[in-house]
Amino acid sequence: MVRTSDHDKAHVGAGEHVGQMLGSVRDCRQSLFGPSADRVHDYVEYSLTEVGESLRPIIEAMKTWGNHCRDEHES
């Protein structure tokens, strides 16, 4: 005969509650992003928009400036 304490029963109840919450989260995510929301994609490719590309010279200048400052402080 296996005896379970109230403490053990509470843990089982909490586990069921968490499972229900995760199911609700999954349902919400699928309603927002479609059925593919739960699939793990092997490969994702990102690209900049035209506006993002227009920032490239500014970002490159900031990178050059940051590298210069780092090099001066390391010397």
Residue of 63 and 13 predicted with greater confidence: 63
Residue 44 is predicted with a pLDDT of 76
**What percent of the chain has a predicted confidence (pLDDT) above 90?**
29
Dist CA 17 CA 47 (whole Å): 40
Answer yes or no: is pLDDT of 15 > 70.
no
Quickly state the pLDDT bin for 75 (edges 50, 70, 90): confident
Average pLDDT, the chain: 76
Which tokens belong to 22?
A: 């995760």
Which tokens belong to 51?
A: 């506006």
Quickly state the pLDDT bin for 53 (edges 50, 70, 90): very high
